A and B are shown apart, each in its own frame.
Chain A
């Protein structure tokens, strides 16, 4: 079986790239939302995909989580899926953040909007760091207001070999909310990612 583990150096390098990507995202979001956005340096964790559902079921109450997926494709076989997990009680905050309070947008629409804004802004930054560029599939709501988010996460995660868990905390001047982002990457892309990381490490 292929080993998808990362070395210490590779992991540190990836953490650094994620940090830079977050910084870029935070800057863009601040300008877009016209308010100070502070994205805390995210802690990344490489998780075995089979452990994901259990992990997130512990973190979240089943019925109060919305799960939104967004697929991305880059050059050289770099591809994957991001999953954002939101607490539904944050929906009001998100609506205010996006300026949605005064029109007819549904909860589903707001959540897919904020998800694509957050993930594509971050992933564009990451792609830049990796000398790549990503194209995106439209966001999909995998589960909302039902009891099965852990099972749905399990069936989604099982297609992938590596999960990169990125805990994000968005802090704005007036609001703050937490959400979890999970980057799911297939085996070939993990190998590819390791090669790229090695190249970056070698160039230092």
Chain B
């Protein structure tokens, strides 16, 4: 059976771009897939350099690739994951994609004419826009999940698990680079009363707003997390005790001065803050010390900052 007739209709309808170049990188052939998408006619471009016909080709890169295929007589490949496209062609998914051009996988194959001496390169171009779009969506979903996984659902600050993990890293960093590091633990004063008076919605609104107020007072590198109910923590990298007490006082003052509106009523809330700083302790010990200082701040009348001081034994007795 004679099969030659198959070639033209197949090449024309193939859902893959076929572009054939000679050893001077001049256009010999391209199929309908490319002709229609690039809006070019073969008879107008035959014999021209591929770089002159298609705009914005990565010229140096493509030249090297094509020369490699010709001299090694071995195929070369390009994946959309490393180079999104070679030919700027439109794709058929204008709505679902934020990419303007077709993502492409390209195979470059060495071809030799029946005369045995004329060498060509055949570029096969496959549309990988779907894979590209799915990959983008996957990355976005992963980023959202990662964010959700470290965020406290109510207040938007770090959740306890993530915050504590970061504290661990910061302690490790302080050990390795001999940096200072401080920790604040603070607690809303009389939160139970607030809840009783305004309901849990009122309490929640206060937590959300205060998180924002306090977050705005911190540096980008400081880590604000919700430790539990109405208790929050701030990790202050590269900060000594004195600096941490300054920050704590600033927070204390800002909260006390902040007027919260809930259901048309103005609420005044205050926080008590315990401060500890790194002097060779573990992360757990740092938390424990800040917590004891916080307890002391409460005991001394609330709306104040107390720094943890040695010796711990004396404090423990006082607490008890």
> For chain B, which range describes its interface: under 10, 10 to 19, 20 to 34, or 35 or more residues?
20 to 34
Q: Does B82 contact A (CB under 8 A)?
A: yes
**Residue picked from A103, A108, A120, most chain B C-beta under 10 Å:** A120
In the complex, the chain A residue whose C-beta lies closest to that of B59 is A103
> For chain A, which range describes its interface: under 10, 10 to 19, 20 to 34, or 35 or more residues?
20 to 34
Q: Does A77 contact B (CB under 8 A)?
A: no
- 8 Å CB contacts to B: which residues of A108-134? 108-109, 112-113, 116-117, 120-121, 124
Q: Which 4 A-B pairs have the closest CB atoms?
A: A120-B74, A109-B82, A138-B77, A32-B71
Known: A103-B60, A138-B107. A32 touches B72 (CB 8 A): yes
A153 to chain B, nearest CB (A): 21
Query: A117 contacts which of B61, B74, B79, B105 (Cβ < 8 Å)?
Result: B74
A173 to chain B, nearest CB (A): 18
In the complex, the chain B residue whose C-beta lies closest to that of A107 is B82
Query: B82 contacts which of A29, A31, A106 (Cβ < 8 Å)?
Result: A106
1/0 per position for A22-33, CB-CB distance to B under 8 A? 000000110110
In the bound complex, CA of A121 to CA of B71 (Å):
11
In the bound complex, CA of A182 to CA of B105 (Å):
25
Q: Does A139 contact B (CB under 8 A)?
A: yes
Give the dominant DSSP class at B's interface: mixed
Q: Does B64 contact A (CB under 8 A)?
A: yes
A28: chain B residues at CB < 8 Å are 71-74
Q: Does A136 contact B (CB under 8 A)?
A: yes
B73 to chain A, nearest CB (A): 7
In the bound complex, CA of A98 to CA of B78 (Å):
15
Listed by A's residue number, 21 A-B pairs whose Cβ atoms lie within 8 Å are A28-B71, A28-B72, A29-B72, A32-B72, A102-B60, A103-B58, A103-B61, A105-B82, A108-B81, A109-B82, A116-B75, A116-B76, A117-B72, A117-B76, A120-B72, A120-B75, A121-B72, A124-B73, A124-B74, A136-B75, A138-B105
